[in-house]
Structure 1
Amino acid sequence: MIHTTRAIIIGTTAYTDNSLIIKAYTEEFGLQSYILRAARKKGGNAKPQHFQALRVVELEISQTPKAKLSSIRSSQLASSYEHITTDIVKTTLALFLTEVINLSVKESVPNKELFHLLASETSALEAAPAKDTTEFHLRFLVKLASVLGFCPQDNYDAVHPYFNLRTGAFVATMQESDTLNQETSMSLHKLLSHPTERITRTLAERRELLNNLLHFYAIHITAGKPIRSHEILYTILG
């Protein structure tokens, strides 16, 4: 049986000398893994360069009942991707976003809202001017958490100025663990309430907010598995 779907590439692994396993979040089938045979064959209908991190592609899939993996018959780029593959900052952000998606999205069921978020964020990253990439990863983490159903609750006020990572809400008192200090809590509140505005002033502020958002993810969605590519972000975004 032949199916077509748009897909966002979130992983590529060599399977044999001439085959690849492609992990993708698809519009029609949710999270899926496919095999791309004869990946290096010249003139093939599916191009290996289409399967880089975060590319949105149109896939034609061949599904057979006894096969463990459906195979990719053809691929076509849904959009052009000049900057994500040539701009070191955007390439690094794409790798970070891909790792977050891999650790956070687990179910093989279609979720159109999630697909459209990932596709729109990919397009936004490609088009963003350099000044708008500084906090792109922070805004993405909040948006993805919202779609996946564990977004921080923005109940910040004068009585509740501290954010608790485990309860996912602002609380009245600074507790011994898993509670952000007042300054970082304020930064998170601003990120939640003003998603398009510049929130942080310094690299140290961004690092602190990112570290705590990743801790929040580890508590609520990644089962404690660490997201490691943020260390590269620190180096590149400086």
Structure 2
Amino acid sequence: MIESTRGIVLTHTKYQESSVISHIYTEKFGLQSYMINQVRSRKSKGKTVFLQPLTLMDLEVYHSEKKTIHRIKDFRVNTPFSQIPFEPVRQSLAFFIAEVLNKALKHEDKLGDDLFDFLHNSICVMDSSINGIYNFHLFLLLRLTKPLGFYPHFEDLLHPKYFDLRTGMFQMAEPAHANFMNAWQTELLLQLKDVLVDDLDVLKLSGNERADFVEKLLEYYQMHLSGFSNIKSFQVLKELFK
């Protein structure tokens, strides 16, 4: 059956000499895999967009619940980017965010239109000239925990000192295990909760502080999402943001 849906390109794997299987988060069907032929040949005819992370697409697809890999009948770019593919920081963030989404959504059922709209709008903001772009992935990682079902319990304590990654709860005493945010990381998490995407430059962080905090957020994901493995592109961000 031919269906129309919006999609967000995440990652891809090579298939044979010139084809790929592109992993796309779709508005109607959640995370799906699509075979794209001749994408790595000289006759690609614009198909290389399926290799670019976070590309926003309008798709016509052949969809069958019985198949795990689908085909695309037609496509067009929904919102052309002006900065993400051409600016190193945004491009590296795109690879990182796409890898996170691919792993976070892999084992989830369709999570609703609100999540797709949030991601679509967030990617558009990321492509704009916002301040504090270096902190954009912090904002996205925290907000994404809400639809995924493990948003921190911010209402627990007024002035907590530690955030327990295992329970998703704040506490005054240091946990007896190693899976927690220390005092300054917990304070940053509380601050991040109230920061708007246009004001991310208020978070004054060194490269090492930012990397340490993101590592804790990724550890939090690993605690609460089955099969969420290491994010390989994170190392590139650490080097870029030093």
TM norm. shorter chain > 0.5: yes
Structure 2 residue aligned with 1:236: 240
Q: How many Å separate the matches in 2 of 1:110 and 1:4?
A: 18
Contact 2:104–2:228 (CA under 8 A) maintained in structure 1: no
Structure 1 residue aligned with 2:115: 114
Residue 138 of structure 1: CA displacement?
A: 0.3
| SS class of match (1:127) | coil
Structure 2 residue aligned with 1:206: 210
Q: How many Å separate the matches in 1 of 2:3 and 2:141?
A: 31
Structure 2 residue aligned with 1:103: 103
Figure out how many residues of one structure are paired with residues of the other and give that number. Answer: 234
Structure 2 residue 225 is the aligned partner of structure 1 residue 221: yes
Q: After superposition, what is the alpha-carbon deviation per residue over 1:171-211, rounded to whole angstroms, capped at 9, x for unaligned?
A: 12012322322121111111113344422332232122111
Q: Which runs of 5+ in 1 are unaligned?
A: none
- Identity across aligned pairs (percent)? 28
Contact 1:187–1:200 (CA under 8 A) maintained in structure 2: no
Contact 1:50–1:75 (CA under 8 A) maintained in structure 2: no
User: Counterparts of 1:43-62 in structure 2 under 5 Å?
Assistant: 47-51=46-50, 52-62=52-62
Q: How many Å separate the matches in 1 of 2:2 and 2:236?
A: 40
Residue 164 of structure 1: CA displacement?
A: 0.9
Q: After superposition, what is the alpha-carbon deviation per residue over 1:57-100, rounded to whole angstroms, capped at 9, x for unaligned?
A: 11111246886532112110001113111101000000000111
Contact 2:89–2:134 (CA under 8 A) maintained in structure 1: no
Query: Which residue type is aligned with residue 205 of structure 2?
Result: R
Q: After superposition, what is the alpha-carbon deviation per residue over 1:13-65, rounded to whole angstroms, capped at 9, x for unaligned?
A: 22222322111010111111111234347485xx3222111001111112468
Cα pair distance change 1:68/1:166, threshold 3 Å: closer
Contact 1:200–1:206 (CA under 8 A) maintained in structure 2: no
User: Counterparts of 1:1-238 in structure 2 under 5 Å?
Assistant: 1-39=1-39, 40=41, 42=43, 47-51=46-50, 52-63=52-63, 69-105=69-105, 106-109=107-110, 111-129=112-130, 131-155=131-155, 156-158=157-159, 160-176=160-176, 177-196=178-197, 197=199, 198-223=202-227, 225-238=229-242
Q: Which runs of 5+ in 2 are unaligned?
A: none
Relative to the length of structure 1, the TM-score reads 0.89
Q: After superposition, what is the alpha-carbon deviation per residue over 1:130-152, rounded to whole angstroms, capped at 9, x for unaligned?
A: x4211101001011111211111
Relative to the length of structure 2, the TM-score reads 0.87
Cα pair distance change 1:224/1:58, threshold 3 Å: closer
Contact 2:166–2:220 (CA under 8 A) maintained in structure 1: yes
CA RMSD of aligned residues (A): 2.2
